[in-house]
Structures are given as C-alpha cells and as structure tokens.
Amino acid sequence: MKAIIGRLGAILSVLTFTTFSALGAETINFVSLVPGEGQLRDKFLATERRLEAGWASPADVVLLIDGQVGTEESMAATVRRDRAQMGMLTTAGTSSVVPEMSLFMSPFLFDSFEEADFVLDTIVLEKVQALFAAKGLHFIQWIDSGWFNLFSQIPVRLPSDISDMRMRAAGGPAARVFLQEVGADVAQLPFADLVPGLQTGLLAGGATNTSMYRTVALYELAPFVTLTRHGINPGTTFANKAWFDQQTEADQDLVMAGIATTEALRLAVRQEDEEAITYSADQGATIIQLSASERQAWKQASANSHRILIDEIGGETAALYDLIQEGKSAFAAGVSGTESPDMDASR
C-alpha cells in the first residue's frame, strides 16, 4: 500500500508542476536519480540556475532527482510523454525506451575509457541520435558511470569462484547475460532489494560501479570488490523531442549544453570512482586487482555474450554493433605507432 501511495504521489507531483506552468513561468521538469551530495548534484543545481537565468521567457526548472518519479523506466516514460521535459538516466533506464542502448553495457565491449570515448563520440553518435528521435526523444549528451566491477561476500578472482553464487544483476539484459555466462545464479532484482537481499542471505554479491558501492556502503555487507572492469554504463541526457523542437534556437542551445561538458562529466565520474575505491578500502573492503590472465579468463567465459545480446535485443542492435567494431578498429589504427593506450582497463 505504501508503494502504491508513493507512486501516486510521484505522479501527482509531476501533474501539479505541469499545471502550475500555465499560471506563469514555464515549468521544465528534469528527472533523474542523483546522490544526495557530490559533484553530480552540484552540476544539476548549477544547471537549474543556468536554465532559469538564460531562458527566453520566465522559467521554473523543477529537479525531480530524488526518486519522486519512481524507477528509471518510469522516468524515461515520463519524458517520452512530455510529463517531464528533460532526463538524465543510465543505459538501463534509457533502454526501456530505446532497447538498443543495452548493447553498450555488453561485457568487455570496450578495452579502455579512451577507446569507448572515441567510439561513442565519433562513430555511433549519429546512429544513437536517430534511435532516440524515432522514440520521440532528443539526444543531448553522453554521461558516464565508470567501470562495472563485481562485489561479493567472499573473495572472487575467477569465474569458477562464483559458480552458482546468487548474484544480483542490474537492469537491462547485458548485466544478466554476463553473470549467466560466467556461471552465476542470477537474480535480476530492483536496486531497492539489493541491501535487504545481502542482509538476508538471498544474495551473495552482484555488479555495480565503485561510486555506487561506496554510496550504499556495500563494503559493510559484501566487503570484496573484484576489479573485473567488465562493462561501462554510458547513460545519456535527453529531452522530449516535440518540446525541444518548439524552443527558440537560443533556448535549444541552453538545453544542448547539458549539465556540464561531456569531458567534465567523464573526468568527475572517473575521479570519484577512484576515490570510492580508496574510501571503500579504508572502510574495510578488500580490493582485488586481477592479473592479465585472470581478466582474460572472464573475457573467455563471457565470449558468447555479444551474440546473445544482439539476438535478444533485436531492432537495430546488429547494425549498431557493426558500427562499434568499425570504431574500435579505427581507434586501434589511430593509436598504432604511438604510445600504447590503457588496453587492460586498469584505471
């Protein structure tokens, strides 16, 4: 009953904000799920001030970033229906509307941040923009959540260590397929069920980025972090396309500035990830660095994941995967003869 009341309250809050816009300032609802403190929240607050100060007509930017609208899937639907005008969501969230986005979380799809940034920014961007437009959304920018790693209640170095271990998978098919392929007993549960699952013994671990591991204090319940760095989560900032298209060119420019430059967002997230590893270790977590051969064992165990995901997701996924492979080849050609990039994903 409480859950139902909460959802009704979230819906009513959005409806109320939309109604108030007719009484004066235009309301711009911006949905996301943001930690209570840190660089990302600061950037949202700065974006609120910037949009309100620069908008061509009086505007009231409402940040719905504390779970008022429910799950990321609910948030994506809210933007698509123009109940909210802007959103910033993870890949799992956006894939509820644009399924092909799930492909970007495929295990070991990218070998380094540099390679991923190159492919996302220069090779697949036009394709992704078209996929968003087809769903009534306007792509604004990439965001970043850092590398996904494993966390567990016992030490894990090789796939055999999690054979039949009950592991929580994040939303979307990629996280589930990876854990299935490496032999875990997979439970695809809402994030809200993660901590209770670890407390009750329903779960023995899972996969997430280190910033979230720190935020939720998972080091108290699953004190081992294995730096598999097996996937990335390149979420996006986006807008309702019909709403965006009707804005003035100047206001569109304000929207397209996002919450910060993509480069600044990536740098901040990656710095916070490194800080989260250090902090978690200080709180008692054991950080397990894999050797090249150990990490290769994870890659080999999940080698069929890409083909499984292409078939399962469908749509334009195969064409998108081909573009990614072209981009990886172009990146490799561009760095040949220069200093070697960080191809072991050790950062």
pLDDT of 339 higher than 80: no
Whole-number pLDDT of residue 23:
55
Domain containing residue 300 = 147-232+271-331
- Give Cα separations from 5 to 8, 29, 79, 252 (angstroms): 5, 21, 21, 36
Whole-number pLDDT of residue 269:
87
Q: What secondary structure, in 3-state letters, does 159-175 show?
A: HHHHCCCEEEECCCHHH
Residues 318 and 178 in one domain: yes
More confident call, 219 vs 33: 219
Task: Please indicate, yes or no, if residue 107 is contained in any of the structural domains.
Answer: no
Query: Residue 150: beta bridge partners?
Result: 207, 226
Q: Which residues contact 21 (CB under 8 A, 6 or more apart)?
A: 27, 60
Whole-number pLDDT of residue 7:
44
Residues 204 and 317 in one domain: yes
Residues 74 and 25 in one domain: yes
Task: Please indicate, yes or no, if residue 213 is contained in any of the structural domains.
Answer: yes
Q: If pLDDT is split at 50, 70 and 90, which confidence band does 16 have?
A: very low
Q: If pLDDT is split at 50, 70 and 90, which confidence band does 336 have?
A: low
Q: Tens digits of per-residue pLDDT, 88-100?
A: 999 989 999 999 9
Interatomic CA distance for residues 192 and 200, integer angstroms: 14
Averaged pLDDT, 335-345: 48
Spell out where 124-269 has E strands.
Answer: 137-142, 147-152, 166-169, 185-188, 205-209, 224-232, 236-240
62: its two tokens: 């409402």
Q: Which helix (H) or strand (E) holds 286?
A: strand 286-288
pLDDT of 62 higher than 50: yes
Averaged pLDDT, 16-41: 74
Nearest to 43 by CA among 69, 27, 63: 63
How many helices (H) and strands (E) in the chain? 15, 11
Q: Give the distance between the most distant pair of CA atoms in the chain.
A: 63
Whole-number pLDDT of residue 346:
39
Q: If pLDDT is split at 50, 70 and 90, which confidence band does 20 have?
A: very low
277: its two tokens: 């590893």
Q: How many CA atoms lie within 13 A of 337 on its CB side?
A: 2
pLDDT of 45 higher than 60: yes
The tally of domains found in the chain comes to: 2
Confidence (pTM): 0.87
Task: Please indicate, yes or no, if residue 26 is contained in any of the structural domains.
Answer: yes
Residues 125 and 252 in one domain: yes
Q: Tens digits of per-residue pLDDT, 280-328?
A: 999 999 999 999 999 999 999 999 999 999 999 999 999 999 999 999 9
Say which CATH number the domain at 154 has: 3.40.190.170
